Amino acid sequence: MQRLLTGLQPSGALHIGNYFGALKPFAEMYAEYESYLMVVDYHALTSLRNGDELRGNIKNVVRDYLAVGVDPAKAIIFQQSQVQEHTEFAWVLECLVTVSFLELGHAYKDKVAKGIEATAGLFNYPMLMAADILLYDTDVVPVGEDQRQHLEYAREAAAKFNKAYGETLKEPKELIQKSVAVVPGTDGKKMSKSYGNTIPLFGTKDEISKAVMSIVTDSGGDKPEHVFAIHKLLKTETELAPLYEDNQGKYKALKDALIEDLDALIAPMREKRSAITDAEVKKVLDEGSAKAREKAASKMREVRQKVGVAL
C-alpha cells in the first residue's frame, strides 16, 4: 500500500472551496492508502499572530475532517508541532538549497504581491513543506494543479540530499485529480479567504444564504455563470438543465435553489461537527502524533547519521 500525505493549514474557517478541493477528495481516497493527515500549525505562523485563535483553529481542522467522514482509525491524523523532527529536518534541507532557488516560488511571490509581509518563514516555507513530505517516505501527495511546484521543491530537496549524502530520501509524486476543478468564489475569482469571496463550509443556512445572494451575476445572460459554476459542484449539468431552462433570467430563484442544495449537503456535516468535543479532538491528535513521531524519529536518526551530527 502506498503512503499518502496531505495537510491543511489551521488559518481560519473553511469554505466550500476547501471542501471540494481538499476535504472531499481526501475523504474519498484516503482508505486506499496508508494515509497521513497533518494539521500544519507551524505553517500557519506565516500569517497568523494570535495564539488563542490558532489553538481554536487547530481543533477545528480536526473537527472538519471528522465531520466529512474521515475515520481516525484508518488514517494517522497528527499535529505538525507535536513532531519536532519537522523543523529540525527543514533546517538540514535549507542548508542544501540556494536562495535563488527559493526565489522562484510562485506562492511566495503571490503572497508578497498581495501585501503579506516577506518574512524569512514565508520565504523558507517550501523547505518546511518538503520536510513534512520527505520525513515519511511519502509516495504521493494530493495537490491542485496550481500547487504542483510544491512537489517539485520537495523532489529537488530530496535529490540534493541524496547526491550529497547517499540515497536516503524518497522523491514523492504529486497526485493531481483532474476532476477537481478550481472552485469559483462569489465574485468569480478562485474562492479564497484572502479575497473575501467565500461560502462557509459549516455555516448556518442564514450564513450560506447571505453568501450565495452576494454572488455576482451578469444581467446580460440567461444563465448566471458564477451561480451555475458553483451549482455544478453539487449536481450534474443534466440534473440542473431543467431548473436553469425554466428559470432563465430569474436569478433569485436560481440562487434560492443553490442555497437549498448547499444546505442539504452541509447540514448533516454541520450537525456531526458540532457534536465533536475538545476531548475527542485531543485524543485523535495525541494518538496520531505519537504514531507520526515514531516514523519521523526513525527517518531523522538516519538523516543525522548521514550528515554527521550523530556521534
**Looking at residue 219, what is its pLDDT?**
58
Query: Residue 304 corresponds to which cell in the numbers above?
Result: 543525522
Q: pLDDT grade, residue 79 (50/70/90)? A: very high
Does residue 264 carry a pLDDT above 80? yes
Q: Is 235 found in the same domain as 95?
A: no
Q: What is the number of structural domains in the chain?
A: 2
Does residue 277 carry a pLDDT above 70? yes
Q: Is 59 found in the same domain as 151?
A: yes
Q: Is 290 found in the same domain as 244?
A: no
C-alpha–C-alpha distance, residues 180 and 27, integer Å: 13
Whether residue 232 is contained in a domain is answered as yes
**Looking at residue 268, what is its pLDDT?**
97
By CB atoms closer than 10 A (0-12, 13-18, 19+), residue 268 is exposed
Does residue 183 carry a pLDDT above 90? no
**Looking at residue 197, what is its pLDDT?**
94
**Looking at residue 25, what is its pLDDT?**
87
**What's the CATH code of the domain at 231?**
1.10.240.10
Whether residue 185 is contained in a domain is answered as no
**Looking at residue 31, what is its pLDDT?**
96
Provide the 10 A C-beta neighbour count for residue 209: 19
**Looking at residue 177, what is its pLDDT?**
72
Q: Is 267 found in the same domain as 283?
A: no
Q: Is 25 found in the same domain as 154?
A: yes
* Selection from 288, 296, 295, 287 nearest residue 85 by Cα: 296
Concatenating the DSSP letter of every residue in 197-245 gives ---BTT--HHHHHHHHHT----TTSSS-HHHHHHHTTTS-HHHHHHHHH
How much is the average pLDDT of 136-152? 87
Digit-coded pLDDT (tens) for 94-131 = 999 999 999 988 888 888 888 888 999 999 999 999 99
Annotated catalytic residues are 111, 190, 193
Does residue 181 carry a pLDDT above 70? no
**What's the CATH code of the domain at 78?**
3.40.50.620
Which residues are CB-neighbours of 247 under 8 A, at least 6 positions away?
Answer: 253, 254, 257
Whether residue 159 is contained in a domain is answered as yes
Does residue 150 carry a pLDDT above 90? no
Q: Is 153 found in the same domain as 11?
A: yes
**Looking at residue 148, what is its pLDDT?**
83
- Mean of all residue pLDDT scores within the chain: 93
